[in-house]
Structures are given as C-alpha cells and as structure tokens.
Amino acid sequence: MQAISFTVNGRAAGVTADPDTPLLDVLRNHLGLAGTKFGCGAEQCGACMVLIDGRPEKSCGKALATVAGRAVVTVEGLGTPQRPHPLQEAFLDEQAGQCGYCLAGILVSAKALLDRNPSPSRREIAAALDGNICRCGSHARILRAVARAARAMREGAAR
Amino acid sequence: MSAAPPPALPVTLANNPRLDQWVRFPQSGRAAVATGKVEIGQGILTAMRQIAAEELCLAPDRIELHSGDTELTPNEGYTSGSQSIQYGGVALRLACAEVRALFLERAAAKLGCRREELSIADGKVLRQGIAAGEDYWSLAGEVDLARRATGAAALKEVGAYGIVGRSMPRTDLGGKVFGEAVFIHDMAPQGMLHARVVRQPRPGARIARIDEAGLRRAAKGPVELVRDGDFLAILAADETVVENLAAVAGNYVAWDGVERVNPLREEARALLQQPSIDRVIGDPEPAAAAPGRYEASFTRMHVAHASVAPSCALALFEGGRLTVWTHCQGVYPLRAALARALKLDPAAISVRHVQGPGCYGHNGADDAAADAAVIARSRPGQTVRVRWRREEEFAFDPVSPAMVVTVHAALDEAGRPADWTTEVWSGRHSSRPGGGGNLLAAEALPDAAEPPQPVDVPEASGGGGTRNGMPLYDFAKKRIVHHLVPETPVRTSALRGLGATINVYAIEMAMDELAERAGMDPLAYRLSVLSDARARAVLERVAKMSRWQPGLPAGTAKGRGIAFARYKNMAAYAAIVAEVEVEEEVRLLNVWCAADAGLVVNPDGAVNQLEGNIVQAASWALKEGVRLDETGISSRDWESYPVLRFSEVPEIFVELVDAKADRPPLGVGEASGGPAAAAIGNAVAHALGARLRDLPLSRERVMAALLRG
C-alpha cells in the first residue's frame, strides 16, 4: 500500500492503494468515476482511454504509481450537461452512438486529437480513433461528430 | 364503427392482456408505460416512448418508461430478431389507443357530451378544442385499467402523427456522452463482492483438485472461494485483487474429463463430414438434374458477438428471494431458466434489465447472470457482481455457427433460374436459455439437468440456418435443403441476422454470376425476376443514389457490387451498393443503402441501425472468423479476433423509402447485414475479376486470387 497524489479533472486526488493497481480500477472503484470503462484490460480496445498530462493513454495498462504528480482527465472532466464540451454537443447533434459503451474512450481520444490538430481531415480523425473499438458500427456518425466539433471549436476561437 | 369482430390481438398483447400491464397514471402529470423490450443500443426506449406519447396524446417527457423487469413490465420474450417495433411496438400502440379510448368514454359520460366532441392534448381532455377541465389524472380513479385489452380501439390516424415519424434524439445518449449513464458494469451497491469464475475448460469437465493454499498465496489480498459441484468462483471485496487472481487461477485447479476439440473444425467445410438432420422446405426436389445447371458453394467460419465489453451481472439472495441484474435480451426467459437451474419458484426471482455493451445476439450475458445467481445463493444478504474477463467472453461466447451454403440452379433459355435450391449446412442458431438449459454455471452444478436436444429456430420465426435461404425472386420452383448439424465443436447461438448473412451472400453472389452468364447487368437481371414492387423500389432507389452504371469493366482493382434482401422475407427490405478498391486487401470506399421498413417510428434511429448493421457486416465479411485449437476457441483477444477499425470504415449513405406511409412497421435492425456482405462480395469480385466465395475476404484470400490472376 502506498499513498499517491495526482489530479483528476483539475482536482487533487489522493489514493492509498497497491501502487500496481491499474489507473482504471483506481478511477472506477476508489474515486467513483465510472465514466471510464473496462473493455479488455489489455490496452487493445480503448474503452478506458484517459488523458495523462494531455496525452491519450489506456488506463487499464497504467499502474497507479506512474501517475503520481500528474494530471488525469476523464470523460467526466470534458464537460457537463450544463457546460458541454463541443465534442459532447457534436456527438449529441449527430446522434453518434448506439450502445454508447465505447463513447467515453472515443471522446477522450478525440479531445486529444483536437487539442493538437484543430482541423483534422476525415482520415486523420479515423487514424486518431483507430485505438478505439466501436462494435455497434456508429463509426460514420462519430467521424462526422468529431469534424463538427472541430468546426465549432475553430469558429468559437475565431469569434 | 364496423360490426366486424375486432382483429386478433398482437401476440405480446394477447400474452399480457391487462391494460395496466402497459399503461398506468400513478402520479399527477406522469404516465408509467411498460415495455418488455430492452435497450441494447438500438434505440428502442426512445422509439417506444414516441409510440406511447403519440397514441396517448401526451408529451414524451411525461412518460416514465419501464423496460425488461419481471416486476414491472409485460413478458415480451426476447428483444431479438428485429421484432421489437414490428410486434412489441404494435402491441404497445394498441394498448395505448385503448387506454385513450377508455378515458375519452369516461370523460364523455362525465361531461354529458358525445365522445366525438372530445380529444386529448398532452393528457388534457378538450371539448371541441377547448379544455374541458378533465385529464388523465383527474379521471384515473374512475377508469379501471385492470381489464383485458379488446383490440377494438381505433388507432390514431397516421396522417395526424406529430411524434411518430419524426427523428427524436435518443433519450439515453446524453448520459452516455457525459459519462453519467449507469451501465450494469457501473453498478456498485454498498458492500458488493466482486467475483470471477474459474470456469470448466470444456463442458463436462470435472474438478480433480484445487490447490487452495496456492491460490490464496497467489492473491494480493483476502479472497473467498465458492464451490458447488464443478462450479468454482473466487470472491473479494477488491476488484483488482480478484481480477489479477482470475488471470492465474487456472494454474491451481486440475480438471478431469476435458474433451479435446478438433482444430480443423474451425473451417466451415468440416460441416460436410458431420451427421446432420435433413429436411426440405418449399417445392419438392426435382427427380433428375436439369441441363444448364449452375452450382457454387459459399462458406463462413464461426463468428463471435465480440461485444465491446465482457458480460456482467449482479445478484442478491435475501430472505428467500433472488434478484438478478442483467444485460440479457430476455428477463422472463432467464428467470425461467434460473428457476429450473436453482430449483426455485420463478415467483421468488426478480430479473431486471440494466444496459450493457451492445450484444447483437445471445452472448455471455445470460451465463454471467447465472454465475452471479449461483454465487449469491451461497452469500445471502450480499450483492455479488460477476464480470467476465475479456478472454472469457471470447472463449465462452456462444458463437454464430460456421455455415456452408451451396446454390443449385437450373436455368431457362433466357439464362434465368427455373429451379433453385439453397442447400444449407449449419449448427443451430439458437440455444438461448429460455429454451431449457445452456447456462454454463447450471451445467457445472452437481445436479445439472441433461442439455436439451439441439433444435434450430422454426421457419415461422424466420428460421435459423434457413433464414433468408428462400430467394424472394420469381423462380418457378424454389426450396431450401437444410442440413442441421447437431454437434458443433463449440457452443453456438444467435448472432444478428442468424443464417441470413451467409444465405443472402450466397444467393446474391450467385445472382451476379448468373447475370454475367446471361450477359446482363446485375441490377437489370435482378429486376427481370422480381415482381415484388417494394423490393423493386429499394433496388431502383439504391441504383439512383449510387448512380449505378451498367457495363463498367471488371478486374480494374476498383469495383462495385449490388445486393438485395427482405429480412426473413417478412421484415424490412434493403438494397445496397458497395464500392471497393482491392489491392493487397479490400478497402471499402462507399456504401449506399435504400430500405423500406414500412412506417418508421424514429427515422434517424432506423438509419443508425441500418448503418451499424452495414459496418458490422463489413467487419464479418472482411475480417472475422473464430479460431480453434484443441482447447476450444483460441482467438481470445482483439488481435487474434480483429474487427473493423475507424480507418477501415467506408462513407455510408442511407435513405428510407416511404417512411411515413401508413403501412405496418417492419423490423429494420438486421435488414442491411446480409445485403451489405453480399454487395461487398460482388464488388470485390468486380474489382478482382475473380469470385471469392469463402468468408472472410481476408488479405490471404485476396492475395491468392491475385496470384491466380
């Protein structure tokens, strides 16, 4: 057991746990942030994607010890129904989802993309989401939604 | 009013005839509406809300919708087979219409006027358009809904619809994009125990010994064991502890009687060597083979549901009652199966649906529920949560059976089929637990019942291996020869579309080959043997959407293919054009789809389902095949069982034909899969100038075809 401090969605978090505990389990079971999902536990599907210091990372494969002192952002940190992130608005506008289990990870991957590339092509969006599996086949809508959010963010920045 | 007797009730209304099973007004300004159908990602809760709101003349947000709960909702069997709107929605619509009629009758009596003067707007009674001071809630105490539906109430005119027929945003999507929605995996009641099953490696395997000390030493925290016969589970308060232990627990258990699997049976053609139960459906077989015969065989390997997350369930056994939370597709059938397995009275079991990852058929959800129930029985008062491991979901999923389909056709002078046989070899396509047995945990118990005889889905329900095996085309004689192979190397059950995917693939690939022989364009050839006007309309629409051009040369590395089917020959019609580029592997460029689903409740929801089915079928067609080794399924992760990724998905264009017409709704959720796979197959053939008849159309198969030149 070890006490480890980091920030989650801008707030200080301290967890006393086995330092090998996957960050995903820490988020879901210790911090009650269940938006981030378990999909495979093997870094293959992207359901557990979070941002660590701004970079998209699969939290099932990140030990708690590796995030000490770092900034973690989960889907809950993107926005709220009252103050949605443009991505969240765009996903609702495009009705981009079916079962929705994969969406948290996809939104996080998309945020990482738009943070570094404000005007990605369809191909670039698809490449950025290739680490995320959607099994329902909502891909076409999701690709449209990310492009729509990028547009909205550029227009917002220009205003 | 007509004097004719009322029509027969829709089946699920006949089975649940009391109106208060469907609609109640428990609280001012609110209506409680119940559906036996459950949300599996298809948007059914939004569509059912629209149907109820429309027929009750109520704002959709006044409805509190209950779904898939043995304590709260009617028994509508499974949410499967594209039947939810076509049957469940129609039942709900009629129940709501009758409730509205009863309230209008009561209001008329109270107001002393004719019922024809009254209408309802957002729950309020209007007399000649003016509020009459009564509403559902003021009248609720005077209208007894604990009565049988008659089916005699008039439905609202489709032309007067304001809610049904318009795209309504999904009611569940908001919670999902903000990470607030509670999937079953996210339920975390106080004091919950996390469990993992140390599963029998193969059916019938028996525990020889357990190195309990070793198992406990391997754990990073306190664990408990639950054993019942050959069922073994490990439990801990800390999920990480139990998950880590589950990964190595198999090393501490020795098994007897582990049967081996023949890995060669991963190939579909192995079915041809197996004993089968044979029958003929349709016209009798011809006495002798006619001249001008065409024959070709098509195959598909076993296919996994490959839900994006493994199955999960919670159970609590308390005071003699068992409550199970599950993402399965049928809460009542699961309750019946659990009652049999645990020797409990069904009335002592509540089964409640909670959303999970899309399942696309009978995956591990029911089995996980049985796991949780068996464990909970030994831990009264404690909620037990079982979440399968990823490799467990792949290894123990009841996969879609491998199939071989051979088309035999005798042609007339014009090169059109005069006699057609679709000959199908397949394992069974349904082994859902409601039919008896087939819960892994139950089979491991000491007093396990014998597994039931394998049967396939009956033709009246659309068939299993035979689904869509009967072409809709105007051939003088047509039939299916069905070889049901009872013994499969691994468990098999229902996956979206069942046998339709490969049957449509075979029929529509054969139609392209026959068109080529006849020197005709594939679209024109199909239309020349197709009199069903709605079928023709979707083909013509998709041709227009895709700017279909006859006579484009084959073998140029770029190709187009067309295909059509009416799902189950009784649900929605769908026609698809696919455009591909083939170099070393197949790249999907564009897919166009035209569908006729009768009256569509939520057009965007229907389009979303058609799109999803296209992507999933593209993944089946290009990538998917379950691998076997001696231990059973060996493709246990996303690398050994790849599915289509974002950069492999085409642009998709979907249009609905006559979606607002006053015609019965037709199930749409599985309509585009078969035609999508077949259109891709035909497009690949056009691009290569060579036909690949075995799925998946993998890089290896494409390369081999290119080398053959």
Closest residue in chain B to residue A144, using alpha carbons only: B651
pLDDT recorded at residue B2? 44
Give B-chain residues touching A1 at CB under 8 angstroms: none
Nearest to B390 among A29, A42, A99 (CB): A42
A63 CA to chain B: closest CA distance, Å?
12
Nearest to B358 among A84, A98, A142 (CB): A98
Q: Do A102 and B355 touch (CB under 8 A)?
A: no
Distance CA B192, CA B316 (A): 10
pLDDT recorded at residue A87? 98
| Residue B606 near residue B628, CB atoms below 8 Å | no
- pLDDT at position B291 over 70: no
> What region, left, alpha or beta, does residue B77 occupy, with left being phi > 0 and alpha being psi -120 to 50 degrees?
left
| Residue B368 near residue B311, CB atoms below 8 Å | yes
Element holding A16 (H helix, E strand)? strand A11-17
Which pTM value belongs to this model? Answer: 0.97
Q: Do B173 and A92 touch (CB under 8 A)?
A: yes
- pLDDT at position B406 over 50: yes
Q: Do B178 and A88 touch (CB under 8 A)?
A: yes
Give B-chain residues touching A38 at CB under 8 angstroms: 185, 309, 387
**A74, exposed or middle or buried, with CB in 10 Å at 0-12, 13-18, 19+?**
buried
Nearest to A133 among B41, B43, B308 (CB): B308
| Residue B389 near residue B247, CB atoms below 8 Å | yes
Tokens of B154: 């008039």
Distance CA A38, CA B240 (A): 12
Distance CA B577, CA B473 (A): 18
- B621 phi and psi angles, rounded to 5 deg: -70, -35
Q: Do B178 and A125 touch (CB under 8 A)?
A: no
Question: Side-chain half-sphere of B37: how many Cα atoms within 13 Å?
Answer: 27
- pLDDT at position B18 over 50: yes
AA identity, residue B618? A
Distance CA B88, CA B77 (A): 10
Nearest to B176 among A29, A84, A97 (CB): A97
Distance CA B415, CA B153 (A): 52
Tokens 């022989």 sit on residue: B517
- pLDDT at position B95 over 90: yes
Chain segment B613-638, per-residue pLDDT in tens: 999 999 999 999 999 999 999 999 99
Q: Do A39 and B308 touch (CB under 8 A)?
A: yes
Q: In what order do the strands lie in the sheet with A11-17?
A: A11-17, A2-8, A71-73, A49-52, A55-58
A159 CA to chain B: closest CA distance, Å?
26
* pLDDT band for position B437 (cuts 50, 70, 90): confident
Q: Of A54, A133, A36, which is closest to residue B178 (Cα–Cα)?
A: A36
Chain segment B105-133, per-residue pLDDT in tens: 999 999 999 999 999 999 999 999 999 99
Q: Do B611 and A74 touch (CB under 8 A)?
A: no
Q: Do B176 and A103 touch (CB under 8 A)?
A: yes
- pLDDT at position B3 over 70: no
Q: SS3 for B582?
A: strand
pLDDT recorded at residue B7? 66
Closest residue in chain A to residue B638, using alpha carbons only: A44
Distance CA B98, CA B95 (A): 5
In DSSP terms, which residues pair with B479 in a beta bridge? B282, B421
Give A-chain residues touching B307 at CB under 8 angstroms: 135
Nearest to A99 among B178, B188, B357 (CB): B357
* pLDDT band for position A145 (cuts 50, 70, 90): very high
* pLDDT band for position A158 (cuts 50, 70, 90): confident
Give A-chain residues touching B358 at CB under 8 angstroms: 98-99, 101, 135-136
Q: Do A100 and B612 touch (CB under 8 A)?
A: no
B595 CA to chain A: closest CA distance, Å?
17
Element holding B317 (H helix, E strand)? strand B312-318
Q: Of B618, B47, B176, which is closest to residue A98 (Cα–Cα)?
A: B176
Distance CA B508, CA B677 (A): 10
What is the rounded radius of gyration, in angstroms, for the C-alpha atoms of chain A?
15
pLDDT recorded at residue B289? 66
In DSSP terms, which residues pair with A6 in a beta bridge? A13
Give A-chain residues touching B185 at CB under 8 angstroms: 34, 37-38
* pLDDT band for position B1 (cuts 50, 70, 90): very low
Percent of chain B with pLDDT over 70: 98
DSSP state of B346: G
Give B-chain residues touching A84 at CB under 8 angstroms: 177-178
Chain segment A48-82, per-residue pLDDT in tens: 999 999 999 999 999 999 999 999 999 999 999 99
Closest residue in chain B to residue A60, using alpha carbons only: B240
pLDDT recorded at residue B288? 73
Please compute the mean of the pLDDT values over residues B153-182 and round it to a whole number: 96
Tokens 């129930």 sit on residue: B373
pLDDT recorded at residue B435? 63
Return the ∠ at Cα B262 (arms to B260 and B264), rounded to 5°.
160
Instruction: Give chain A's length.
Output: 159
In DSSP terms, which residues pair with A17 in a beta bridge? A2
* pLDDT band for position B74 (cuts 50, 70, 90): very high
Q: SS3 for B137?
A: helix
List C-alpha distances in Å: B186 to A29, A157, B583: 9, 36, 44
ipTM topping 0.85? yes
Test mutation, A76, A89, A136, chain B, max B CBs within 10 A: A136
Instruction: Give chain B's length.
Output: 709
- DSSP-derived pairing of the beta strands B206-210 and B253-256: antiparallel
pLDDT recorded at residue B433? 87
- SS3 string, B623-656, reads CCCCCEECCEECCCCCCCCCCCCHHHCCEEEEEE
Nearest to A133 among B41, B238, B643 (CB): B643
Q: In what order do the strands lie in the sheet with B23-27?
A: B23-27, B30-35, B63-67
Tell me how crowded residue B388 is: count the other CB atoms within 10 A of its CB. Answer: 27
Distance CA B441, CA B375 (A): 10
Could you write out the DSSP letters of every residue in B487-555?
--SS-B--BTTTTHHHHHHHHHHHHHHHHHHTT--HHHHHHTT---HHHHHHHHHHHHHTT--TTPPSS
- pLDDT at position B30 over 60: yes
pLDDT recorded at residue B453? 75
Tokens of B99: 């409730």
DSSP state of B400: B
AA identity, residue B353? H
Please compute the mean of the pLDDT values over residues B675-696 and round it to a whole number: 97
Buried b (16+ CB within 10 A) or exposed e, B294-324: bebbbbbbbbbbbbbbbbbbbbbbeeeebbb
List C-alpha distances in Å: B285 to B282, B288, B442, B472: 9, 9, 43, 18
What is the rounded radius of gyration, in angstroms, for the C-alpha atoms of chain B?
27
- B405 phi and psi angles, rounded to 5 deg: -130, 120
Please compute the mean of the pLDDT values over residues B200-214 and round it to a whole number: 97
pLDDT recorded at residue B8? 85
Tokens 């505990």 sit on residue: A21
Tokens 């009416």 sit on residue: B566
Test mutation, A1, A31, A101, A141, chain B, max B CBs within 10 A: A101
Q: Of B18, B14, B54, which is closest to residue B34 (Cα–Cα)?
A: B18
In terms of DSSP H, where are the helices of B253-378?
331-342, 365-377
* pLDDT band for position B436 (cuts 50, 70, 90): low
Please compute the mean of the pLDDT values over residues B332-344 and round it to a whole number: 94
* pLDDT band for position B708 (cuts 50, 70, 90): confident
What mean pLDDT is reported for chain B? 96
Tokens of B55: 């027929």
Give A-chain residues touching B609 at CB under 8 angstroms: 98
- DSSP-derived pairing of the beta strands B277-282 and B477-484: antiparallel
End-to-end Cα spacing for chain A: 50
DSSP state of A22: B
pLDDT recorded at residue B448? 85
Q: Do A137 and B180 touch (CB under 8 A)?
A: no
Give A-chain residues touching B397 at CB under 8 angstroms: none
Return the ∠ at Cα A151 (arms to A149 and A155), rounded to 5°.
115
Please compute the mean of the pLDDT values over residues A33-41 and round it to a whole number: 98
* pLDDT band for position B434 (cuts 50, 70, 90): confident
